[in-house]
Structure 1
């Protein structure tokens, strides 16, 4: 089942169950997918493009969560946390810390990196491998640890 079909089914179910918050988030995701398809001039997006859009939606909510938390807006923090949980339902399964650490080690040895000066090369090689499956800031932290 494609992501769009899954979103449509979940949207119908949310309407039946009168889950306004879930319905709102699903509609936002669908709108983002459709806007990207129009922008690219495609009728359908590839799975990789869908993951990119979902990652963007997730990152936006994480950034908002951080800002609202910093501002002490608990009402908005809870709302954004609920939205983030719904977005993450459609994301690919996230890599565990051990799996991610192993990928970082392998990539560092493939490239032959041995100092923090090689950080950009390592990140450029890793990110396509873990796209949508790991948070970029976590990857960055692990690469720094392994290069120091």
Structure 2
């Protein structure tokens, strides 16, 4: 059973959290491991680093949405729990790209795809997604691609 580098990092962090008796951190890391295991069992496959980045990205997005909903409902203590989990999950994601780096990648993808209209945005996004996965919000990227055609 081969293990990816990122998955190994998550397992090591879980062991460290256990030793340190850091319950909030351990709980969040266990959520990550549970999601990994669920996908591996459901799909009968071993996930790679690229897929794990997608999973972590999705977990961060879910927690942002939950934190926003809790804040809107006046439940700041629950929103803070979600925000704390985001910080822990983001430790396993690569360094986020700056706006300048994103703009450069978008321009490169537009020229590489040969897209000339917004209707061809899918071609550009297909080129960008593997390059920015886990390093940028895809909604933000989508907005930048649309601006590139205006």
TM-score normalised by structure 2 residue count: 0.87
Structure 1 unaligned regions, length at least 5: none
1:129 to 126, 131, 135: 131
- Choose the corresponding residue for 2:114, options 98, 105, 112: 112
Match of 1:12 among 8, 12, 15: 15
1: CA distance, partners of 2:103 / 2:134: 16
* CA distance 1:10–1:111, shift in 2 (3 Å): closer
Q: Deviations over 1:92-147 (max 9, x none)?
A: 22211111110100111122333333323322332232222211011011112211
Query: Please, which moves more after superposition, 49-58 or 109-118?
Result: 109-118
Among 134, 138, 142, the alignment partner of 2:140 is 138
Gaps of 5+ in 2: none
**DSSP 3-state at the match of 1:93:** coil
SS in 2 for 1:72: coil
- Residue of structure 2 in register with 1:72 after alignment: 74
Count of aligned pairs between the two proteins = 147
Asked if the contact 2:67/2:83 (under 8 Å) is kept, the reply is: yes
Q: Distance in 2 between matches of 1:40 and 1:103?
A: 32
The CA RMSD measured in Å over matched residues stands at 1.7
Instruction: After TM superposition, give the deviation of residue 75 of structure 1 in Å.
Output: 0.9
Normalised to the residue count of structure 1, the TM-score between the two structures is 0.88
